[in-house]
Amino acid sequence: MRQLGPNDIIFILAAVRWTLVLSLAAFLGGAIGGVLVALARTSEFRWLRLPATGYIKIFQGTPLLMQLFLAFFVPGLFGWSVNPWTAAALGLSLHASAFLGEIWRGAIENVPRGQWEAATSLGLRYAPKMALVIAPQAVRIAIPPTIGFLVQLIKGTSLASIIGFVELTRAAQVINNATFRPFTIFALVALVYFLVCWPLSAYSKRMERKLLVASR
Amino acid sequence: MSYEFDFADVFAAWPELLQGLVNSLVLSALAMAIGMVVALAGALGTTSGPKPLRWAIHGYIELIRNTPFLVQIFLIFFGLPALGMRLSSNTAALLALVVNVGAYGIEIIRAGIESIQKGQIEAGRSLGLRPLQIFRLIILKPAIQAIYPSLTSQFILLMLNSSVCSAIAANELTAVAGDIQSRTFRSFEVYFIVTCMYFGMSVFFWTMFAAIERTFLRKPTR
């Protein structure tokens, strides 16, 4: 065992970049998947709605940790070996696709019915109707819960440490195993997560309140 | 795909899996029950406590909501002993879940308290309802109706979150999966079955909570 030195602290603090990179990758992957899920979920075709609903239910009804384990082991079935980074990014992206899909479905359905009818009666087809009429209004509604979910996602990246990806939490464990100062180290890590997540939470809450006032 | 599935070893371990499932349910139910007591106390503190207490409770809520559960559980399991408080992994898991769900519960219960309308109580009184009737029909039932959906989904979230307790080797379903995996090397099979078990629990609770809501908490149709 050795003393907890400044280099250890720097190692832990620097590992936050992997938490941020993983969060960003998962959010981008989840945004692409989430748009597809939301569109399928609000589609007029049953054969698109049903699988999208099932996809959302499966990810809402199982632990994120299990999703990450399966993202790690399933590619192996096809003979692809994945490293922890790929597995974590894949698992979190699929997870985010389901949750963002559900959030954005709600936002799309919240656009007043009259807007859909007006767009249709103007002769707009599906794509321009969605892109020019529905999406701009849905985005406004969707921003606060989307940011709220981003906070969930950032916290969720800590589970990538369990499948062996070295991000903030894993870095803390590594240093703790060598120096055994658990209280200091994990309190520091909690503080770093807090500094990343709290401004986002506060922003999301403020936006939500603004929307509530605007809709009154 | 050249992989050969072999579920035999996993199915052979069914007594362990069943025990793990029961442990997860007990852990979640206990954490929810104690967590709601914490949440009720916290909600009363934020609605009618002195200012320093309110700030402390808000600090607690923000701290828990903006840090990962895994870090909270590490802080409790590894950090507290360094301050002289030694906990078994099961106790630490329960404590971490209580601390976590307590913070989310405060907001939910506060919303329930705020949904009670003073005018309704006065209306009930002027209709000649007895105090117990007022409490049951005008305070308790609408408040439960208001918080029921968020409370039940919070419980399912807690149940799914309890899988993280395997990180400190608490005695629950995911930890059992880890044990079986390290013994049989059938990683995919174990985690697939256990994932299905969690999904089964979620479906069970979704269905049950919806049935309870339909039967007991139906709102009068206008």
- Looking at residue A199, which CATH number applies to its domain? 1.10.3720.10
CB A32 within 8 A of CB A101: no
Mutation target to probe the B interface, by most B beta carbons within 10 A, among A72, A77, A186 is: A186
- Judged by CB atoms closer than 8 Å, whether chains meet at A189 and B71 is answered as yes
pLDDT on residue B48: 86
3-state secondary structure chain A: CCCCCHHHHHHHHHCHHHHHHHHHHHHHHHHHHHHHHHHHHCCCCHHHHHHHHHHHHHHHCCCHHHHHHHHHHHHHHCCCCCCHHHHHHHHHHHHHHHHHHHHHHHHHHHCCHHHHHHHHHCCCCHHHHHHHHHHHHHHHHHHHHHHHHHHHHHHHHHHHHCCCCCCHHHHHHHHHHHHCCHHHHHHHHHHHHHHHHHHHHHHHHHHHHHHHHHCC
Tell me which chain A residues have a C-beta less than 8 angstroms from the C-beta of B72.
Answer: 190
Q: Is the pLDDT of residue A193 over 90?
A: yes
Domain of residue B159 covers 9-216
Task: Please compute the mean of the pLDDT values over residues B3-8 and round it to a whole number.
Answer: 83
Contact A190 B191 (CB under 8 A): no
**Tens-place pLDDT, residues A77-87:** 898 889 999 99
Q: Residue B147: which residues within 8 A CB-CB, separation 6 or more?
A: B108, B109, B111, B112, B115
SS3 per-residue string spanning A148-171: HHHHHHHHHHHHHHCCCCCCHHHH
Find which of B17, B28, B66, B158 to mutate to test the A interface (most A CBs within 10 Å of its CB).
B66
Indicate the residue type of B171.
N
Residue of A66, A79, A198 lying closest to B2 (CB–CB) = A79
Residue A212 pLDDT grade (very low, low, confident, very high; cuts 50, 70, 90): confident
Q: Are B86 and B95 in contact (CB under 8 A)?
A: no
**How much is the pLDDT for B190?**
94
Nearest by CB to residue A186, choosing from B75, B166, B203, is B75
Does residue A115 fall inside a structural domain? yes
pLDDT attached to residue A76: 87
A193: closest chain B residue by CA: B67
pLDDT, residue B136, reads 86
From chain A, the residues in CB contact with B194 under 8 A are 66
What CATH number corresponds to the domain at position B103? 1.10.3720.10
Q: Which residues contact B58 (CB under 8 A, 6 or more apart)?
A: B46
Residues of chain A with Cβ-Cβ distance to B63 below 8 Å are 190, 194
B49 is a domain residue: yes
| pLDDT category of residue B220 using cuts at 50, 70 and 90 | low
Number of folded domains that form chain B: 1
Decide if pLDDT at B222 tops 70.
Answer: no
B76: in domain: yes
pLDDT value for B4: 81
- Mean pLDDT over B59-71 rounds to 97
HSE-CB for B100 with a 13 A CA cutoff: 29
Identify the band that residue B47 occupies on the pLDDT scale cut at 50, 70 and 90.
Answer: confident
Which chain B residues are Cβ-neighbours of A186 within 8 angstroms? 71, 74-75, 78-79
Instruction: Give me the residue from A73, A176, A186 closest to B188, CB to CB.
Output: A73
Of residues B185 and B55, more confidence is placed in B55
Mutating which of A56, A58, A62, A174 best tests the B interface, going by the most B Cβ atoms within 10 A? Answer: A62
State how far residue A73 is from chain B, nearest Cα, in angstroms: 6
Asked if the structure places residue A123 within a domain, the reply is yes
Residue numbers in A near B78 (CB within 8 A) = 176, 182-183, 186
**pLDDT exceeds cutoff 80 at B49:** yes
Per-residue pLDDT reduced to its tens digit, A17-76: 999 999 999 999 999 999 999 999 999 999 999 999 999 999 999 999 999 999 999 998
Please check whether residue B206 lies inside any domain of the structure: yes
Amino acid at B124: G
pLDDT digits (tens, 9 = 90+) for B119-170: 888 999 999 999 898 888 888 888 888 899 999 999 999 999 999 999 998 8
Q: Does the global pTM surpass 0.80?
A: yes
Give the pLDDT of residue B221: 63
Task: Note whether residue B1 is domain-resident.
Answer: no
- Structurally, how many domains does chain A consist of? 1
The pLDDT tens digits of the residues spanning A87-105 come to 999 999 999 999 999 999 9
Confidence of residue A162 (pLDDT cuts 50, 70, 90): very high
Size of interface A-B (CB pairs under 8 A): 122
Q: What is the pLDDT of residues B161-212, one digit of tens each?
A: 999 999 998 899 999 999 999 999 889 999 999 999 999 999 999 999 999 9
- The partner residue sitting opposite B167, judged by closest CB among A77, A162, A198, is A162
CB of A12 within 8 Å of a chain B CB? The answer is: no
Give the Å distances, CA to CA, from B189 to A192, B36, B186.
36, 36, 6
Chain B hits for A193, CB-CB cut-off 8 Å, are 66-68, 71
Select from B25, B61, B71, B188 the residue whose CB has the most chain A CBs within 10 Å, as the one to mutate to test that interface: B71
How much is the pLDDT for A107? 96
| pLDDT the model gives residue A182 | 92
Confidence of residue B114 (pLDDT cuts 50, 70, 90): confident
Residue B45 has pLDDT above 90, yes or no: yes
Does residue B4 lie in a domain region?
no
Give domain status of residue A1, yes or no.
no
What's the confidence (pLDDT) of residue A4? 86
Is A19 touching B (CB cutoff 8 A)? no
Question: Is B140 part of a structural domain of the chain?
Answer: yes
Nearest residue to A8 (alpha-carbon basis) of A175, A187, A166? A175
Contact A61 B75 (CB under 8 A): no
Q: Is residue B3 part of a domain?
A: no
- Nearest CA to CA, how far is A216 from chain B (Å)? 18
Is A161's Cβ below 8 Å from some Cβ in B? yes
A79–chain B Cβ distance below 8 A for any pair = yes
In a domain, B73, yes or no: yes
Residues of A whose CB is below 8 A from B156: 61
